[in-house]
Amino acid sequence: MNKVNNFTGLFWAFALLTLWLAHLSYVLAHPLDFLSPWTYVHVLIQTHLYTGLFITSHDAIHGVVSPAYPKLNHGLGWVCATLFAFNNYAVLRKKHHWHHDYVNTEQDPDVHQGNFFVWWFKFMWQYVTWQQVLAMAITYNVLKIWLPMENLIVYWEVPAILSTLQLFFFGTYLPHRGEHAPENKTQSRSQKRNHVWAFISCYFFGYHYEHHAHPYLAWWKLAEAKDYKPER
């Protein structure tokens, strides 16, 4: 598998940042109509774009947003993590490397085999801080001076929560749940090959065996890795 070049990573990072901001600005400025199906379509779009922000931050952790310029790479990772509900990029970076180094062991901060909801709670507990909650509360109360409260909740807060669930379900729970063969060093599995669904569900991170086997690959290269590797 070929590594990503500098310009492709930057292109996708800025594209996702621009789309996230443009769509959020659009929906926040328009009246909210709960009877319109477009309201729910916009929620799903914004959820997907939030997931794109986090995936970009994740790729920055692996140094593939801008490999030749580490400061720019991690700067963009920090911006994306901050825009995604004020996540702490430094904490994400440290713990995600732990996840790769100690996957599916007691030292793995992401994997907690067992009940789905208990696992999700423990997963969230690793990353959510009181500083993050406080920053969200302050930002919400400032923004509602100029923007409708309902729009902020429906288009800014709800998609972030849904995206967190999306990332956990497709990018952690499904790939790592249950038993894995000892010879499977990635301790992960992949969803069946379907590139359209893989992109819609979680930017190809359902191809999780490929990600752990080739962590230097950016999200859009995982489909190529899936085509290259046998089914897992």
Domain membership of residue 194 (yes or no) is: yes
Instruction: Please give the tally of structural domains in the chain.
Output: 1
List pLDDT tens digits, range 89-118: 999 999 999 999 999 998 999 999 989 999
List pLDDT tens digits, range 16-50: 999 999 999 999 999 999 999 999 999 999 999 99
Domain membership of residue 1 (yes or no) is: no
Residue 232: the pLDDT is 46
Residue 199 is part of which domain span? Answer: 6-176+185-228
Query: Which pTM does this prediction carry?
Result: 0.93
Domain membership of residue 10 (yes or no) is: yes
Domain membership of residue 119 (yes or no) is: yes
Contact present, 95 and 61 (Cβ < 8 Å)? no
Domain membership of residue 162 (yes or no) is: yes
202 class by beta-carbon count within 10 Å (0-12 exposed, 13-18 middle, 19+ buried): buried
Nearest to 109 by CA among 98, 119, 101, 118: 98
Domain membership of residue 126 (yes or no) is: yes
pLDDT at residue 206 tops 50? yes
Q: CA-based Rg of the chain, rounded to a whole angstrom?
A: 18
Contact present, 104 and 59 (Cβ < 8 Å)? no
